[in-house]
């Protein structure tokens, strides 16, 4: 319990959304308020040459999207905030899903014009699986969008979670005048491109200052709306939010810096402190004295000039210390780190220690894989960090045989990051990449060329799903492999994988081979579909 004070100061969360909802812009404004940056970058504006801090890869700057999770740490009002900005595009969903295993809560950004979109629903499903606490920020209120009450109904219907507005907009689009904070009874007036929120405290909604500030008509509409909210929605219960059963809702405009500080201040008040994490043997509590942590992300060439490879570690319990030996459970060996880092996207600062909730960057020479656990000696493995079956499969064709070594290294390192999965067929000659989206292949092709000097093309393969296969009877597994050799491959860890051509083929094989277990994630626990 000696780390209780440090633990209470930590908040570790991810910002998630459908592409273009304003997630990266909101991230920038958080960093601005935390003093981590001096100028917020614009992700898509051609007029502003400074790009978003969290979009650090060249391809991200060119495409105006986030293609990898960025880790950023800053301090706000005495709280150490670990913020993970995730890719919004569905083609990078697996990176986002994995990131959600390393956070304690989530801020979900919704575009008020488009409402709840497909990727938003998928991301919320993952949060619901773990009962992750969620705060919803309805963005772009300065644009003409959907009615606020309609948006609340849509959130409940599509995301399958109760919502409770903690702020309420006065109009929308060109007539948007501001937001009334139901949580602390303050009024914020909207002014485009303002540097900070202008807050006006009103005693209650009957206060005549309200009419003076927003006009009698809009003041009366706000009184009517708030009365309806208080009648329809229960009082906000922090415990229900922490249990993942209710999502508080805020309104604002991240681009115009409006409603962001209010969101951040409420977040650090109500968001959970570092939570317990499951392992294969027991649950690890953050207030335990002995250190534990797991690798949830690996990124090669964070700084292309130095060809470095960084493993991102989530501290789960105890205290991480620089130059101290820790036990690498999978490799069964002790390792130590002389230059562990905290991150501001690509910027790095050496740290001496870290506590539960913190994210630490570790220089990696190839010792780490996603899901690896570090401890002070205990042999436990953190669970719930699987790889999923890909949906698109392509053979890698090397267009420059003189760069074969560079290609092998590039494929190994990029797939270690978890952006895609690598399968090998026919004694190691045929390399197959599996992803959940087409855009991943563009990223891989770009990075192989620019970071490793390897030129490749891809040939689409007619596979439907990759299933990890196991069997309790070694002879039956050998017989299956003998007859199905053309549809078998090994993943990068040497595990056997069956590449199904269609759902019909897969169903047929499962019926004909009841002793063979087909697994749809790399963690073989209750995953046979």
Structural domains in the chain plus CATH codes: 4-270 (3.40.50.300), 277-375 (3.40.50.300), 392-519 (3.30.70.3280)
Contact between 110 and 120 under an 8 Å Cβ cutoff? The reply is yes
- What ranges in 204-295 are assigned the alpha helix state H? 208-214, 216-232, 238-242, 260-270
Query: What span, in angstroms and rounded, lies between the C-alpha atoms of 212 and 206?
Result: 12
- 171 to each of 153, 163, 395, how far by Cα in Å? 18, 20, 53
Query: What span, in angstroms and rounded, lies between the C-alpha atoms of 465 and 468?
Result: 10
Query: What span, in angstroms and rounded, lies between the C-alpha atoms of 383 and 101?
Result: 9
Query: What span, in angstroms and rounded, lies between the C-alpha atoms of 221 and 522?
Result: 54
Q: Where are the beta strands (DSSP E) in 440-486?
A: 456-460, 465-471
List the chain pLDDT tens, one digit each, 529 residues. Answer: 467 889 999 999 988 888 788 888 898 888 888 775 555 443 333 332 333 444 444 544 444 434 345 678 888 888 999 988 776 445 445 667 777 888 999 999 999 999 998 878 878 887 887 889 999 999 999 899 999 999 999 999 999 999 999 999 999 888 888 888 887 778 888 775 555 545 676 767 887 888 888 888 998 999 999 999 988 888 899 999 999 999 999 999 988 888 888 899 899 999 999 999 999 999 999 999 999 999 988 876 555 555 567 888 999 999 999 999 999 999 999 999 998 988 654 456 788 999 999 999 898 887 888 889 999 999 999 987 767 778 889 999 999 999 999 999 889 888 877 778 899 997 668 999 998 778 778 888 888 998 889 999 999 999 999 999 999 999 999 999 999 999 999 998 889 999 999 999 999 999 999 999 998 877 654 445 4
Residue 74 tokens read as: 């800053």
8-state DSSP, 113: T
Neighbours of 328 (CB within 10 A): 17
pLDDT of residue 351: 87
Contact between 141 and 172 under an 8 Å Cβ cutoff? The reply is yes
pLDDT of residue 354: 92
pLDDT of residue 211: 85
Query: What span, in angstroms and rounded, lies between the C-alpha atoms of 305 and 346?
Result: 12
Residue 267 tokens read as: 């977040």
- 44 to each of 65, 193, 259, how far by Cα in Å? 8, 17, 21
Using alpha carbons, select from 14, 13, 33, 27 the residue that is nearest to residue 261.
Answer: 33
Q: Look-up: residue for tokens 């277990």?
A: 517
Query: What span, in angstroms and rounded, lies between the C-alpha atoms of 117 and 214?
Result: 32
Please tell me the pTM assigned to this model.
Answer: 0.78
């Amino acid at each position: 319990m000696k780390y209780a004070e440090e633990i209470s100061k930590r908040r570790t969360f991810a910002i998630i959304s459908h592409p273009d909802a304003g997630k990266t812009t909101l991230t920038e404004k958080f960093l601005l308020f935390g003093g981590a940056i001096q100028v917020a970058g614009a992700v898509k504006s051609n007029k502003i040459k400074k790009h978003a801090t969290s979009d650090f890869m060249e391809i991200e700057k060119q495409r105006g999207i986030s293609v990898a999770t960025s880790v950023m740490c800053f301090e706000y009002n005495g709280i150490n905030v670990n913020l993970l900005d995730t890719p919004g595009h569905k083609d990078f969903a697996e990176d986002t899903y994995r990131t959600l295993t390393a956070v304690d809560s989530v801020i979900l950004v919704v575009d008020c014009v488009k409402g709840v979109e497909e990727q938003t629903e998928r991301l919320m499903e993952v949060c619901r699986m773990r009962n992750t606490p969620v705060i919803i920020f309805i963005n772009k209120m300065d644009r003409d969008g959907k009615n606020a009450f309609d948006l609340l109904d849509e959130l409940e219907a599509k995301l399958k979670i109760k919502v409770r507005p903690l702020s309420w907009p006065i109009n929308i689009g060109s007539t948007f005048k501001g937001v009334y904070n139901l949580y602390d009874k303050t009024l914020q007036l909207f002014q485009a491109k303002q540097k900070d929120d202008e807050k006006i405290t009103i005693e209650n909604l009957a206060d005549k200052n309200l009419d003076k500030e927003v006009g009698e008509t809009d003041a009366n509409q706000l009184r009517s709306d708030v009365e309806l909210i208080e009648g329809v929605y229960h009082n906000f219960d922090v415990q229900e939010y922490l249990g993942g059963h209710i999502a508080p809702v805020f309104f604002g405009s991240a681009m115009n810096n409006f409603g962001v500080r209010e969101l951040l201040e409420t977040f650090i008040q109500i968001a959970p402190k570092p939570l317990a994490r499951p392992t294969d043997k027991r649950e690890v509590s953050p207030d335990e004295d002995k250190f534990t942590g797991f690798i949830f992300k690996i990124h090669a060439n964070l700084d292309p000039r130095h060809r470095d490879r960084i493993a991102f570690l989530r501290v789960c319990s105890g205290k991480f210390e620089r130059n101290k030996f820790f036990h690498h459970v999978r490799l069964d060996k002790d390792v130590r780190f002389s230059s562990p880092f905290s991150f501001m996207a690509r910027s790095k600062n050496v740290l001496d220690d870290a506590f539960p909730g913190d994210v630490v960057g570790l220089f990696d020479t190839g010792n780490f894989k996603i899901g690896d656990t570090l401890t002070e000696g205990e042999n436990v493995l953190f669970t719930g960090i699987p790889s999923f079956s890909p949906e698109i499969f392509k053979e890698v064709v090397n267009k420059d045989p003189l760069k074969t070594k560079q290609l092998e290294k590039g494929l190994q390192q990029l797939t270690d990051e978890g952006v895609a999965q690598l399968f090998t067929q026919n004694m190691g000659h045929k390399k197959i990449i599996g992803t959940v989206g087409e855009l991943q292949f563009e990223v891989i092709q770009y990075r192989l060329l620019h970071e490793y000097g390897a030129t490749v093309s891809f040939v689409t393969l007619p596979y439907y799903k990759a299933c990890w296969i196991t069997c309790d009877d070694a002879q039956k597994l050998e017989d299956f492999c003998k007859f199905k050799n053309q549809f078998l491959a090994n993943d990068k860890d040497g595990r056997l994988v069956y590449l199904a051509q269609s759902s019909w083929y897969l169903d047929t094989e499962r019926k004909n081979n009841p002793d063979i277990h087909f697994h749809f994630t790399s963690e073989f626990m209750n995953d046979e579909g």
